[in-house]
Amino acid sequence: MIPPVVFTRRAALALGAGLAIAPFAPKLAHAASKIRHLVSPGGIEAWFVQDATVPLIAMQYAFMGGATQDPADKPGVGNLVGDLLDEGSGDLDSRTFHERLERRAIELSFSSSRDHFRGALRMLKDNKDEAFDLLRMSLTAPHFDSVDVERIRSQEISNLQSETTSPTALAGHKFLEMAYGNHPYGRPSNGTLESVPRITVTDLRDYVGRVLARDTLRIAVVGDVDPDALGKLLDRTFGSLPAKASLTPVADVEAAKPPQRAFIPLDVPQTIVAFGGPGIRRHDPNFMAAYVVNHILGGGSSSRLYREVREERGLAYSVYEALLWMEHSALFIGNTGTRADRAGETVEAISKEVRRMAEDGPTRKELDEAKSYLKGSQMLALDTSSKLASVMLQYQLDRLPIDYIEKRNAIVDAVTLDQASAVAKQLWGQGLLTVIVGRTPQAAAEPAAATPPPTAN
């Protein structure tokens, strides 16, 4: 994904290390094959894995909408809503609400991504009633008190001001602007220094009323709770939400055609390079072939880009490239950092490897090793209840079948060398959209100006 652009709501609290459940990863991975489609008495649907390994319950959920539902002239509304839902609700002010969370070790968080408004809830089994009740109040009766709104708004403005000197943030924003222009995907989901000060409480309440509704709700739950109890909790938590969302339609869009390049001058020690181009949608028949061959190109320390850019040339400490799929478009996107005087060489090295993959495709050995890694890494994605719930939710949002976890490795295995080569040409045959943020090569070569000694007062 694009960390500088897709911002995640801070977690209210972190559960103690004593609740870690990584040692039980094999049991959880086995439990993943027992996902149930639960329907509450009130008709709330969820994917559910009952697991009594530890007395813990983790829930992830999402509503369709996200940042695409921000007003065109006020990006950042959904992000601000996510920051404020736990700042007082029902009969509790902000301080009392957070004291309740802390006293019961309840972890509650919200975030607005490009296409979804997401939430997460985690608690000890014995605290489930209070935890779900606090979530219900957050979703259905948020205060949006002026003192809390202004405090959180000030924090967001401070973050945005910091981004004006962050080469990574600037590169991410410019890349999406280059790729999508005036489409909602081209706007910063956390807002701008111009938009955030103009967001009103009316905007926040309007967003909640339009987006948080039962018809687009998807839920995943993993933990020590029986189905009957969970069904009642879901009804009590989500049952009073509006039946239907009122979403602004969002058009499908293709990212801008490469090659294109942009440069943003910024006096920082390290130059940042963001690169990418049009990707492949999740339900494209060639998606898994793209996923496998993309791992070969940019997915970790064994990838072609890593070997060429870091190990062979010593141009950067790290380089990555990944697929990003959304409801209405798709990208491949990568990032690296280098010295200003070597930025051109770095871009050329990346471009060379991208062209080579597009023209020649992967080797049989690379394909087999990538398949082996991607199949084995599935276990690591399921080693905690929260990770398993997150995967289950993502599969729902991607409209995949409930048994996809069981089928995934066979789908990976079925990718052929011809398919991988064809999709490599489709993805990377046009070249790159590239954004470079940092000093000009000339400025980087000049010695820094001497700092005068301080004068005595």
CATH at residue 181? 3.30.830.10
Segment 345-372 shows an average pLDDT of 96
Length of the chain: 457
Beta-bridge mates of residue 263: 436
282 and 176 housed in the same domain: no
108 and 226: one domain?
yes
pLDDT given for residue 3 in this prediction: 34
pLDDT at 160 over 60: yes
Residue 147's pLDDT is 96
Please identify which residue in the block is written with the tokens 């010695």: 447
- Range in 4-18, 189-203, 349-363, 399-413 the model is least confident about: 4-18
Same-domain check for residues 221 and 274 = no
399, 271: one domain: yes
Q: pLDDT digits over 276-300, tens only?
A: 999 999 999 999 999 999 999 998 8
Taking CA 405 as the corner, what is the angle to CA 400 and CA 408, rounded to the nearest 5 degrees?
A: 85
- Per the structure, the complete domain to which residue 351 belongs is given by 260-442
Distance CA 134, CA 310 (A): 48
| 86 secondary structure, DSSP code | T
| Total domain count, the chain | 2
Mean pLDDT of 240-259: 96
Note whether 143 and 180 are same-domain residues.
Answer: yes
Q: Is the pLDDT of residue 255 over 90?
A: yes
Digit-coded pLDDT (tens) for 227-236:
999 999 999 9
Are 66 and 182 in the same domain? yes
Does 227 reside within a domain? yes
Model pLDDT, residue 32 = 60
pLDDT value at residue 27: 54
Element (H, E) at 444: helix 441-445
